Structure 1
Amino acid sequence: MTAEPIRLPDTASVQAVLKSLEPVSADAELAPALANAFPGFDFTAASIDDFYWRGDARTVLSPSGTRIGDHRAWVERELAELGGDLTAFWNRHRSGDLRFTEWRGASVFAFAPSGLGVADFVQLSLGREIEVLAGPVVDPDYRPHNAEDLLDPSWVRREPDAVAPVLAGPIYRLRGRAGGGIVHMRSFLARGARIEREQRAARRTELENSVLHEVGPAGTRDTAFLDANPDWFDFVPRENRFFADWERSSACAHRIFDHWAFDIHDLEHRDRREIGFIPRPLKMPAGKLAMEEDISVHRLMERIEAIDAEIGLPFAWFFLMTHGHWVDPDVGDAIAEGLRQGRVRLPDRDAAVLLAWADKKYLF
């Protein structure tokens, strides 16, 4: 952060910056262009290897390469002309003369600090996309079963290593699922905690009168819900715990967004507000650390130290564990038990974080 930020990035301004980028220099100019548009913010950018394709912007090309029009509209028009006859449509176009284009990409996150706290930063969720010549408008070998087969072509290769002629791009688009395209993280965490607190409080009367009925060998037993869950109204969302644990641990000397991006969601589902994120590591270890049978806690300590060294971050293994993929949670339990028994040691602050997690777990 070079100076006191004048204003937070807004959707219209970010989209204007992205639209101004020239494809030939877009990758190099992304962060400087954002910093120039929003004085006081020093932006950096990082990509995530999560290949995707878009079904909302396909175009049909003639044999000469002329753009005929939107793929969906063209398919619907052609089908209507043939009275909905799928076989006739297939026979008309199975020669492969007409092809369609498709936009494909991967996620990019841009970050800029807004203060000194662990959550004092802005995150932009972007997509870096190229338009490719995907393939013929019908599968030349198989007749379509229904119109949806034509509208959502599945016969072309879409693997990340698939070779397809590039027609346009790269361009950058503002993405983010359900309101997560532009986020000031401290505000987002506060909003998430407030919404969770309010939604739980709204059920207070219901839960105060709720009883759990248990049936066992000794008969039935009734327990008041709040007696069984005394911390129900003190619940802390896992997203807030992730940031709090970073701040309390030896990882705090590093900026969290140099190591993690956050796939944000903020939506309504079944009359309930759902707000949160999935953390996405910007650097991943070469392999997963699974809990092997009969492995010693000392060997586990060697393995987690190797992960920290590989990532270049103290206590990196712990946050990879909460992510739920790269480090088996049973590893955390085993090391926590080793700490309790005095068989292994961690820095005091890291030991406190791990033991608190082992007592009340959270995973993504």
Structure 2
Amino acid sequence: MTTTTTPRPVPGSEPHADGGWGQNAAPFVPVQTRSQRPRSYTPSDFGKPTGREVNWKHTPLTQLAPLLDDAAGDEGAVSVSVTGPVAGAGLAIGTAPRGEVFVPEDLPAAIAWARAAEALYIAVPADAEYDEPILVEFTGGGADLLAHAHVVVEAGVNSRATVVLRHSGAARFAQNVEIIVRDGAKLDVVSVQGWDDTAVHAASHQARVERDAFLRHTVVTFGGGVVRVDPSVELAGAGAQGELYGVSFADAPQHLESQVFLHHKGPHTRGEVLYKSALQGVGARTVWIGDVLIGADAVGTDSYEANRNLVLTEGARADSIPNLEIETGDIAGAGHASATGRFDDEQLFYLQARGIPEDEARRLVVVGFLAEIVQKIGIPSLEAELFELIEAELAEGEGE
């Protein structure tokens, strides 16, 4: 008689419970890293998100649904004005430098690319230096109105400028922002989301920083029902530098999200990412996903990313996911960090021990926590306005 025995599986040889990605039974491997995401100018090349994709699993797709349909925008949905030392111009699809850097990596961005027949072009001439900010204001005309926009900001060689993008009112708004920082230029871009609570905003910012150039990119979000701003910055030239900052304050039931990508491509580049959020109220939600890629040619890179979240009440939720890919061993340094928590009891005790009432002590802790980002903006009037907004948010929370 012949006895047949079934060999015991070697540990690790069986498909994982996630479905056996890459195995014969499940050959499809989902995109896991930001650099692998498909890109296309054609909306039909992107399937509608289901919520299982890595870049959509934390986003409330039901509320974002109007921006996932390839439909024409409504007349007067969002008005745009430009003030400051540079006037805006128009760029049709196919007209340089539109598309030099920007390639959509998700469905709302592809729809916005195709539907925005003319992009707003902000060009800072070579060698120009402006102390006054260039202010671009987007004003929504109604919560049920749909709008698409593409903005191109180009800082010429050795120029210096600050561009502020301000959003107010309400709309369903899909927006692309394309940023080009030429050799030796220094550019600050600040995007302020001060929408009404009914607004839905999905923005894709893509930037390239060339040789010895500098970009400081800051995302400030206090308003809006669902706001998702995804910055992607490529440090392409030798000696390029990028600083990516973000500050937000989420109340119930706001959903405020940023998916950040910093790609060190050129040698001896330096990057810093720091996002901070405060949350209060049942259902308040923030999402931060930070991806840093140090490419094979990015020798001598120095990079660090961090996310900090301060949860002020029960029922609020902060998701924080840092990721770091390194393709070369010849770097100066790289790291990432994430922390989410309640008040620091030691800080409160220290302040109360010096006669400061508990409510005032809590206020000082929150303001001090967010001030690190606000003070990096470098525009005194805007910084003062944001501190007033933080105070107003805290006062509203005390009344709940």
TM-score using structure 2 length: 0.23
More strand by share: 2
Which of the two has higher C-alpha Rg? 1
- The higher-RCO structure (CA 8 Å, 6+ apart) is 1
